[in-house]
């Protein structure tokens, strides 16, 4: 991260090019906000037509500025922007942000113009934000390099939430919602068309800021894969949750994303898997994004998954229990002894969990305390939740209720405490000041608590540490099955012993050595789909069958693919049993080499039951990957079958990911299909291998 990049957020001096005296205009708003925010740095308006702008001395041109500013805010029409960037570059300005639209998002002409911005800046070593962005702000410094209208009514308080958004409008929207929720913001950046700085770099900066405890991010796609993954992993290691809104998941959305920015959207399923891989929470809705960020902003995570629910209404208790289970939390019952004690004291209560004190607790706060104390002392709950309904909305009741809860929870400050309630904002803030997370909606609360638990699990994981693989010299041109297997064997993958036979005599000799029954397959770098030309014969039980099959296969190959280079016929032992799976490598246009895994047959073809991981990854990560598919019970031994060798499968996936990462430039794709996962202890066998290499 360069100083120039950091200067975007904390300049000592800033030029506002296109500064307007009218504080409601795009060139006027930033100045107004900087002054209202009490920004301590020097602000240098540039406007050739005025002596002063909003009371500050103005300069006619960038060349006339009395000093070289750390950053320049360009509030100019698109047509005037290139000139301004050139002037900044000439003057040695370190960074500039461009508000104007009218560049790559408008078509070829705009793209060319944007490319010239980038080239000019790169040549001068200047960093660019935008164009078509809403800029940055840093409330702790009163630095508002933006014209966003959400600051019209009020500025933003400093706080633990960092916001990184490709879309300016979206970034402004979630800043506005965060403010409404009482959340302060550490830094805020919108990247727009990303002529230079992209979401990945902005994220990488944001997660490293000491005053950022949680990041809300928005992107339609990313450009710099390595920086992006590094940012995600850095956040994980620093225990900083990222709550991500990724759009473009539908076909229409993806089409719109492509027309909106030049970002390649990548496959949404791959993006989704990578976020999961690095412990990022992907929000499905904006409301969810705010709800989860709010919970995570405290920087505290539950030590375990156990949730105790206190309620004064049975119906609400059931609903929250449903929601908590759906969120992956453990609504475990109170210990029997504690239930008995509680019942002896309050015979009408439901003591299990949810602990239902009934409406009695509304009128008698001692009843509430009598329920909550044993929940904390004996229940072993990592999270305490209470359903307070509209009670805290009452002026007379809100404070006594809060104090009763605080008394009952005393000594258990290490637990997460959360409430559902409906009350005026001042009452909510008092509960929050006492350490409660406050939600109006129980399912939003449960979902956010589930996200906290998942963050904790992701943070606790050691970093995935796949041993790096030394790149191999890749052969030229396409590879046959035997060639593909030979290459992958060098990389440590194991296949069945098999032999390449050029003639039917050699095939019979090979089969004799390998043992019957065997399979015979045409072996040619030019025949990728062997069955289509009748190039495969299975279950050959004796020499005669092998001889006949080999001759027939060679004859068919000659007839149907006369130009193919034939290496011979591959003779392999017939492998049966185990669970059929598919393993592959694909090079995602955005996220680079990714490993795919799925069960074979209908699982892949009908149910699309596959999952992905960015390569490389280690064996524990492969285990998590395997467990994501819906058909996983089949590998565990559903339907009375033996459990499969999941350990060997995980090793295969990790090894393949290391190979894919080491050869990310040369390997376009790999198919291992099928891979049979044999019973536990017997390993995995890839029965076929296909590698597509980059033409060199």
CB of 270 to its own copies, least distance (A): 16
Separation CA 309–CA 324 (nearest Å): 10
CA distance 598 to 48: 64
Q: Are 518 and 572 in contact (CB under 8 A)?
A: yes
Residue 423: φ, ψ to 5°? -160, 160
Report if residue 313 touches its own copies, rule: CB under 8 A: yes
Which candidate, 624, 618, 301, 596, places its Cα nearest to that of 448?
301
**How many residues line the site for its own copies (CB under 8 A)?**
82
Least distance in angstroms from the C-beta of 324 to its own copies = 8
- For its own copies, the closer of residues 19 and 307 by Cβ is 307
Beta-strand pair 214-219/161-165? parallel
Query: Is 234 among the residues that bind its own copies (CB under 8 A)?
Result: no
Instruction: Supply the minimum distance, in Å, between the C-beta of residue 441 and its own copies.
Output: 5
C-alpha to C-alpha distance for 140 and 158, rounded to whole angstroms = 5
**∠ CA 186-280-457 to the nearest 5 degrees?**
110
CB 472 within 8 A of CB 487: yes
- Which among 64-72, 311-319, 375-383, 480-488 is the span making contact with its own copies, rule CB under 8 A? 311-319
Q: Euclidean distance between the first and final Cα of the chain, in Å?
A: 34
Residue 500: CB minimum distance to its own copies, A: 31
What the block records as the tokens of 143 is 């630095």
User: Closest approach of Cβ 601 to its own copies, in Å?
Assistant: 8
Q: How many CB atoms lie within 10 A of CB 311?
A: 28
Min CB(38)–its own copies separation in Å: 24
The yes or no reply on residue 250 touching its own copies (CB under 8 A) is yes
Report the residue from 146, 186, 247, 504 that binds its own copies according to the rule CB under 8 A: 247
The span of 149-157, 565-573, 582-590, 662-670 binding its own copies (CB under 8 A) equals 149-157
Is residue 100 within 8 Å of residue 69, measured between CB atoms?
A: no
Q: What angle do CA 113, 117, 121 make, to 5 degrees?
A: 165
Q: Does 18 bind its own copies (CB under 8 A)?
A: no
- Find, among 463, 690, 479, 469, the residue nearest to 586 by Cα: 690
**Residue 234, phi-psi category: left (phi > 0), alpha (psi -120 to 50), beta (remainder):** alpha
Q: What is the DSSP letter of 611?
A: E
- Exactly one of 71, 81, 353, 385 binds its own copies (CB under 8 A); that residue is 353
- Pick out residues in 268-287 that bind its own copies (CB under 8 A): 284-287
Q: Over 57-113, what HEC string results? A: ECECCHHHCCCCCCEEEECCCHHHHHHHHHHHHHHCCCEEEECCCCCHHHCHHHHHH
Tokens of 74: 């360009």
- Kindly state whether residue 172 participates in binding its own copies, applying the rule CB under 8 A: yes
In the complex with its own copies, the residue whose CB is nearer, 3 or 605, is 605
Beta carbon nearer to its own copies, 279 or 631: 631
Segment interacting with its own copies (CB under 8 A) among 4-12, 274-282, 387-395, 654-662: 387-395
Does position 166 bind its own copies by CB under 8 A? yes
393-452 binders of its own copies (CB under 8 A): 393-394, 422, 441-444
The pair of structure tokens assigned to 621 is 């990560």
The three-state DSSP-derived secondary structure of 642-659 is: CCECHHHHHHHHHHHHHH
Binding to its own copies by residue 315, rule CB under 8 A?
A: yes
Of 165, 524, 581, 673, the one binding its own copies by CB under 8 A? 165
Which residues are within 8 A (CB) of 397 and not within 5 positions of it... i.e. 6 or more apart?
A: 391
The one segment of 61-69, 145-153, 504-512, 537-545 that binds its own copies by CB under 8 A: 145-153
22 is a site residue for its own copies (CB under 8 A):
no
Q: Which of 70, 201, 305, 356 binds its own copies (CB under 8 A)?
A: 356
Q: How far is the CB of 190 from its own copies (least distance, A)?
A: 10
Q: Which of 591, 639, 536 is nearest to 273 (CA)?
A: 591
8 Å CB contact between 72 and 94: no
Show contacts with its own copies in window 317-336 (CB under 8 A): 317-319, 321-326, 331
Single out the residue of 87, 198, 220, 688 in contact with its own copies (rule: CB under 8 A).
220
Q: Which of 256, 264, 486, 610 binds its own copies (CB under 8 A)?
A: 256
Which residue spans within 430-534 are E strands per DSSP? 436-439, 499-501, 518-523
Shortest gap between Cβ of 195 and its own copies (angstroms)?
16
| Window 98 to 117, contacts with its own copies (CB under 8 A) | 101-102, 105-106
Applying the rule CB under 8 A, the residues between 638 and 657 that interact with its own copies are: 638-639
- 339 vs 654, which CB is nearer to its own copies? 339
Looking at 365, 607, 619, 668, which residue binds its own copies (CB under 8 A)? 607
Peptide bond into 517 cis (omega under 30): yes
- Residue 636 Cβ, how far from its own copies at the closest point, in Å? 10
Q: Which CB, 209 or 394, lies closer to its own copies?
A: 394
Residue 531 in contact with its own copies, rule: CB under 8 A: no
Residue 682 touching its own copies (CB under 8 A)? no
Query: Could you say which residues in the range 612-631 bind its own copies, by CB under 8 A?
Result: 630-631
Residue 180 or 558 having the CB closest to its own copies = 180
The whole-angstrom separation of Cα 350 and Cα 348 is 7
Tokens (6 digits) for 610: 């596959």
């Amino acid at each position: 991260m360069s100083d120039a990049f950091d200067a975007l957020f904390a300049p000592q001096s800033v030029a506002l090019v296109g500064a307007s005296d009218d504080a409601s205009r795009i060139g006027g708003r930033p100045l107004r906000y900087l002054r209202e925010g009490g920004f301590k740095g020097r602000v240098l308006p540039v406007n050739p037509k005025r002596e002063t702008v909003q009371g500050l001395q103005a300069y006619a041109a960038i060349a006339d500025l009395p000093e070289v500013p750390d950053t320049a805010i360009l509030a100019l029409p698109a047509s005037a922007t290139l000139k301004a960037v050139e002037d900044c570059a000439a003057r040695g300005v370190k960074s500039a942000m461009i508000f104007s639209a009218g560049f790559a998002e408008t078509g070829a002409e705009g793209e060319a113009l944007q490319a010239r911005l980038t080239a000019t800046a790169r040549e001068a070593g200047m960093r660019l934000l935008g164009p078509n962005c809403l800029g940055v702000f840093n409330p702790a410094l009163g630095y508002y390099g933006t014209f966003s209208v959400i600051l019209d009514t009020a500025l933003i308080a400093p706080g633990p939430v960092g916001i990184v958004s490709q879309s300016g409008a979206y970034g402004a929207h979630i800043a506005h919602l965060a403010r409404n929720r009482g959340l302060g913001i550490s830094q805020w950046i919108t990247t727009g068309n990303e002529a230079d700085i992209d979401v990945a770099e902005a994220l990488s900066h944001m997660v490293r800021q000491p005053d950022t405890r949680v990041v809300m991010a928005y992107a339609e796609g990313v450009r710099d894969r390595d920086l992006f993954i590094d940012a995600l992993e850095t956040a994980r290691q620093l225990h900083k949750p990222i709550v991500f809104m990724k759009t473009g998941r539908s076909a229409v959305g993806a089409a719109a994303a492509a027309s909106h920015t030049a970002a390649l959207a990548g496959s949404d399923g791959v993006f989704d898997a990578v976020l999961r891989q690095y412990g990022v929470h992907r929000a499905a809705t904006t409301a969810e994004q705010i709800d989860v960020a709010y919970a995570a902003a405290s920087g505290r995570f539950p030590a375990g998954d156990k949730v105790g629910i206190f309620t004064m209404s049975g119906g609400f208790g059931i609903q929250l229990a449903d929601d908590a289970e759906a969120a992956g939390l453990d609504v475990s019952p109170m210990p029997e002894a504690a239930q008995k004690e509680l019942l002896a004291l309050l015979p009408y209560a439901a003591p299990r969990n949810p602990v239902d004190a009934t409406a009695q607790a509304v009128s008698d706060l001692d009843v509430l305390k009598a329920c909550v104390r044993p929940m904390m002392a004996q229940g072993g709950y990592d999270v305490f939740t209470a359903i307070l309904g509209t009670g805290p909305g009452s002026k007379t009741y809100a404070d006594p209720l809060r104090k009763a809860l605080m008394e009952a929870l005393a000594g258990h400050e290490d637990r997460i405490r959360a409430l559902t309630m409906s009350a005026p904002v001042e009452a909510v803030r008092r509960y929050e000041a006492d350490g409660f997370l406050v939600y109006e909606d129980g399912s939003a609360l449960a979902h956010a608590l589930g996200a906290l638990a998942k963050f904790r699990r992701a943070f606790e994981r050691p970093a995935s540490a796949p041993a790096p693989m030394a790149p191999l010299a890749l052969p030229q041109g396409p590879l046959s099955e035997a060639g593909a297997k030979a290459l992958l064997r060098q990389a440590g993958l194991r296949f069945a012993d098999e032999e390449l036979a050029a003639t039917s005599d050699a095939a019979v000799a090979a089969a004799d050595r390998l043992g019957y029954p065997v399979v015979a397959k045409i072996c040619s770098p030019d025949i990728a789909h062997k069955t289509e030309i009748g190039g495969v014969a299975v279950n050959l039980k004796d020499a005669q069958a092998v001889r006949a099959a080999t001759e027939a296969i060679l004859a068919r190959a000659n007839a149907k693919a006369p130009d193919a280079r034939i290496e011979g016929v591959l003779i392999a032992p017939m492998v049966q049993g185990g669970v059929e799976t598919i393993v592959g490598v694909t090079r995602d246009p955005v996220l680079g080499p990714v490993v795919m895994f799925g069960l074979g047959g209908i699982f892949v073809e009908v149910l699309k039951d596959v999952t992905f991981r960015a390569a490389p990854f280690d064996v524990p990560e492969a285990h998590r990957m395997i467990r994501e598919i819906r058909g996983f019970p089949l590998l565990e031994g559903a339907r009375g079958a033996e459990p499969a060798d999941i350990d060997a499968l995980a090793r295969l996936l990790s090894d393949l990911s290391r190979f894919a990462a080491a050869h990310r430039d040369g390997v376009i794709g790999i198919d291992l299909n099928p891979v049979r996962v044999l019973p536990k202890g017997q390993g995995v066998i890839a029965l076929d291998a296909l590698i597509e290499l980059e033409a060199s």
